[in-house]
Structure 1
Amino acid sequence: MPDLADRILGGWLGRIAGNMLGKPVERGDVWTRQRIDRYLRQTGALPLTDYIPEPLTESMGRDLRPEWRDCVRGRIHGSCRDDDVDYAVLGLDLLETYGFGFTTEQVGDLWLLRLPYLQTFTAERAAYRNLANGLRPPLTATYDNPYQEWIGALIRADIHGWTSPGAPRRAAALARRDAVLSHTGNGVYGAMWAAALIAAAFTAPTVRHAVEDALTVIPPSCRLARTVRRVASLHETGLSWEETLATLEEETAGLNWIHVVPNAAVITAGLLHGEGDFTRTIALTVRGGLDTDSNGATAGSVAGVLCGATAIPGHWKAPLEDTVRSAVFGFDGVRISELAERTLRLAQGPEA
């Protein structure tokens, strides 16, 4: 049975590895499920069990993210810089600086101090601009921000789960305080759900139990909860992963590929069909398309907590070289193991 330290390190490694796996194909309007699998088939990498291979020809690589050269199989030397990892680092700094009693205003203060404006996107960039113009929460989330229910707040939630092991309701409350700086509605519920999912993974006997526990912290009638329950019910009937995602694509048609609801469906399907196996979980999640690096990161975090760092296969860990590249001021080049140790101290602290 992995101990707390091993599970927290597993969460960090899982988030970073899942992010790196999904990064080359992160553009859901171009890299559909079908196109991702076609690329993997052409490169001899289906079923996916390792980082995505580099393209065989120039034309194959034309639509990959520009960063692909640093995050494909055989080329990885430490983690690439990415907002999906930056926000986990920034969340750690938030809790170390202000403690678990932090306010939403303090989240904004730390963004302005530590985070470059051009490394923020969608709702976070809108909120950052609003902060710089003197607005305060909750106006920072609602003024001139068409991205209020997109995935940004969800990708910031991991730290609240890692520092609330076995306490999903507490994790959700922390994540909500963070999320309302930039999001509303399902955007906030996505952060609460993800934090609770990760917190529950520390003690849940199965991934299904963690998914069920996470649903208890958000309104049962919200679209996010209904979508996650729909995925779980289809899984229970024995529907395949492919058929499940095809069904959910129809039911969430019209939502942007960065909207939190369809992405939560992809994460849930990857977790349930991955059945606790780290490689299968992040591979299915990334193959699910949409916001591939964000989804791979969240699914990897949950799977890493469930199995612990020791059980994550070495070919996912070794290329990361225990190193994080980060745009968060003061953290570039920090060791993954150090981030996990600092997270463990918070999880074991007097306020935890």
Structure 2
Amino acid sequence: MIPNRYVETVYASFIGMNVGIRLGAPIEPVAWTYERIRDVYGDIRDYVKPYRTFAADDDANGPVFFIRALYDDANGRELTAEDVGRAWLNYAREGVGMFWWGGDDISTEHRAYVNLRNGIPAPASGSIETNGLEMAEQIGGQIFIDSWGLLFPGDPEKAADWAEKAASVSHDGNGLHGARFMAACIAAAFEASSIEEIVSEGLRQIPDSSTYAAVVNAVRTFHRDHPDDWAACRQLLEDEWGYDKYGGVCHIIPNAGVCALALLYGGGDFARTVEIASMCGWDTDCNAGNVGSILGVFAGLKGIPAHYRAPINDFIVASSVSGYLNLVDFPTFAKELALLGYRVNGEEAPAGLADSFKPGEVEFDFSLPGSTHGFRTSQPFKTPVVRHSARRALQPGGGSLEVVFDRLVAGDSSNIYWKPFYRREEFNDEKYKPTFAPLAVSGQTVSASVYVDQWEGEPIVLTPYARNSATKEELLLEPCSPENGEWNELSFVLPDTDGALIDEIGWKLESPSPLTDRAIGSLYLGSFRVSGAAAYTIDFAKQAKEFGSVTPFAHHRGRWELEGDALAYRAESDALSLSGNYYERDVAVEAFVRPLEGTSHLLAVRAQGVMRQYLAGFDGPGSVSFIKQDFGATRLITAAYAWEPGREYRMRLIAEGDAFALQIDGQTVLECRDDSFGHGMFGFGCLEGGASEIRHVAVRAGAAKGRP
């Protein structure tokens, strides 16, 4: 049975996982050894690096994207390894992202991906028989399983079973035991009264005779005899279970020992557990992330210290082919995962939860304790406090985002804003090459409920704005003065940015107060929403190549470059470039396309990944086709059309319900009906090698309200 406060606990676990990942990531081997971590950072009690925005990490990508198998294939039936393998192929871009962290054929994940691409299905793709014992028993078996544990609260066996299926895409042997152990621990933590109980339940889900069970039991025995000396236990692992005894890049057995050590010596304290996991060395981000998930469930939100939670700010980026899904808002993801939990357990979700999760729309209600949804302010001196508050709420038991403004006078300002799009400048490093599609674009409506509790000074003024990502110009709209002491409903339409993207939306907070009566008080944001039809253009002269991709697209295969005002690509085989709202239903995409080489030049709509989409355009000499790509291409209709290489064509692909139309230079050349894909991204690509240039992209879309 789904427990009370399920969404909140899932939320705490996801925060806990990402705190651990962020804490451990800067001190990963091989540069950072246990001794070097100890000598440089000592007794770690906080993050060791102040990331501007934490870049994509493979440990978080897996829990976010492998569950999409439950939407795409295993909807209404038991999960299989093959379902998860298809998710691997559909959401990963070849050559970049979480499977390429070590380069070609270094990581187990890369080997499994290549196996899948070569037609070796899961679970053979991850088996010992296919890949050998050493490769199959690396750490990846346990680091991508967090979501499976959260889907089955209080049911460790079911969590372990599904985690094993998912892990078998890439791992085997002790790799699968690690998946079962970690997922079972997460599921058990919902009901357990002690860490020892959690570890015992994890062990019950794996063979007693396994090496994995042996290392965990060795740690348990040492902990019973030496309960206050985690460093001595770590030395035991080095001596008897270390990397010198288990080959590969990061074998699961030594790291399993670290996870068990951190859990037991952490004693149920969230911070100490992730800190010990990080200080032990070896695969620091993976280990701290795993135990962070478990302790997030066990300790709850109240157990996660503010100094670890605040920098996360409810947001991470991921690295998949969907730039839209790569922008991960924690409360929204927690609701999505909880809804899946109700579904797979055969229970009906509460109406309020179902109504609050709206795929394709930005919908923030600040209902989860401590939630901030990634909001920021530009001037901390004038807005020194940005925090979740339970003092004001639109609904009983809810909350809001409180922004304290401090002694504003005429000429002072601070922006209160949220970022629907990110640029490279927001990050410290290039990890996993994330790509982004904007969550808010021109033509959409921003609406919010705002409460003002002003104590002194002249009334504040809120001026809506959107920032042009290319020029950084703040496009100011009509200002307003919200009423003090009551909820105000505010809304504005995002302006046209003439081919650039919008990377900030919010309000400029000001007051005309004099020095003798400065404005001070609190502003509460009770809800925030971006919705409605979108109408925007993409001018490639105003885009940039960042993280290896041209904004705002994610490229799969081929070489994609900016050449003046054009997106130019050259491919030796099939290639695809995608952007837009993953949940968009009705859409019209227009672009000027100049085919240069080859005979395949296509527009894409309703793309649900690299393996699932509709394509239409030039398809062979003198012909056009409408094609359904679903792990293989099917031409639904082909017609004669005398197109020529080197000539530029205005191509427009329209999707309305199950009806599709391709227009070239204003003439409808293809019409087709199909209902296989009800929503998805847009983009460009080819089914065989060639080259092309794309200019002046225009997107007009209806309100995206589809549910996965």
Letter in 1 for 2:65: L
Structure 2 residue 113 is the aligned partner of structure 1 residue 131: no
Mapped contact 1:198–1:305 kept (Cα < 8 A)? yes
Mapped contact 1:26–1:293 kept (Cα < 8 A)? yes
1:90: Cα distance to partner?
1.0
> Where does residue 484 of structure 2 map in the other structure?
none
Mapped contact 1:154–1:187 kept (Cα < 8 A)? yes
For residue 232 of structure 2, give the secondary structure of its aligned residue in structure 1.
helix
1:208: Cα distance to partner?
1.2
> Where does residue 34 of structure 1 map in the other structure?
35
Higher strand residue share: 2
1:350: Cα distance to partner?
5.5
**Which moves more between the two structures, 195-204 or 232-241?**
232-241
Unpaired runs of 5+ residues, structure 1, are 41-45, 53-71
Percent of aligned positions with the same letter in both sequences?
Answer: 32
For residue 335 of structure 2, give the secondary structure of its aligned residue in structure 1.
helix
**Closer, same or farther: CA 317–92 of 1 in aligned 2, 3 Å:** farther
Letter in 2 for 1:202: F
1:58-69 alignment, distance < 5 Å: none
Structure with bigger gyration radius: 2
1:41-60 alignment, distance < 5 Å: 46-52=42-48
The separation in 1 between residues aligned to 2:334 and 2:110, in whole angstroms, is: 28
For residue 338 of structure 2, give the secondary structure of its aligned residue in structure 1.
helix
Letter in 1 for 2:91: R
1:315 to 291, 307, 325: 307
State the TM-score, normalized to the length of structure 1.
0.88
2:264 to 272, 290, 305: 272
1:103 to 53, 76, 80: 80
1:158-197 alignment, distance < 5 Å: 158-197=146-185
> Where does residue 26 of structure 2 map in the other structure?
24
For residue 196 of structure 2, give the secondary structure of its aligned residue in structure 1.
helix
The separation in 1 between residues aligned to 2:179 and 2:251, in whole angstroms, is: 12
Mapped contact 2:108–2:135 kept (Cα < 8 A)? yes
> Where does residue 328 of structure 1 map in the other structure?
320
1:255: Cα distance to partner?
1.4
1:351 to 317, 332, 345: 345
The separation in 2 between residues aligned to 1:260 and 1:95, in whole angstroms, is: 27
The separation in 1 between residues aligned to 2:141 and 2:320, in whole angstroms, is: 17
Mapped contact 1:12–1:301 kept (Cα < 8 A)? yes
The separation in 2 between residues aligned to 1:277 and 1:76, in whole angstroms, is: 27
The separation in 2 between residues aligned to 1:114 and 1:229, in whole angstroms, is: 38
Letter in 1 for 2:282: L
1:238: Cα distance to partner?
2.3
The separation in 2 between residues aligned to 1:135 and 1:109, in whole angstroms, is: 11
For residue 147 of structure 1, give the secondary structure of its aligned residue in structure 2.
helix
**Closer, same or farther: CA 2–51 of 1 in aligned 2, 3 Å:** farther
1:314: Cα distance to partner?
1.4
The separation in 2 between residues aligned to 1:346 and 1:234, in whole angstroms, is: 39
Structure 2 residue 91 is the aligned partner of structure 1 residue 94: no
For residue 281 of structure 2, give the secondary structure of its aligned residue in structure 1.
coil
CA-based RMSD of the aligned residues comes to 1.8
In the alignment of these two chains, the number of paired residues is 325
The separation in 2 between residues aligned to 1:4 and 1:249, in whole angstroms, is: 38
For residue 319 of structure 1, give the secondary structure of its aligned residue in structure 2.
coil
State the TM-score, normalized to the length of structure 2.
0.45
> Where does residue 513 of structure 2 map in the other structure?
none
Structure 2 residue 291 is the aligned partner of structure 1 residue 299: yes
The separation in 2 between residues aligned to 1:197 and 1:211, in whole angstroms, is: 6
**Closer, same or farther: CA 37–207 of 1 in aligned 2, 3 Å:** same
The separation in 1 between residues aligned to 2:18 and 2:109, in whole angstroms, is: 20
Higher helix residue share: 1
The separation in 2 between residues aligned to 1:339 and 1:326, in whole angstroms, is: 12
> Where does residue 249 of structure 1 map in the other structure?
238
Mapped contact 1:322–1:336 kept (Cα < 8 A)? yes
Mapped contact 2:69–2:86 kept (Cα < 8 A)? no
1:351: Cα distance to partner?
2.8
- Which structure has more RCO (C-alpha within 8 Å, separation ≥ 6)? 1
1:147: Cα distance to partner?
1.4
Structure 2 residue 206 is the aligned partner of structure 1 residue 221: no
Mapped contact 1:274–1:280 kept (Cα < 8 A)? yes
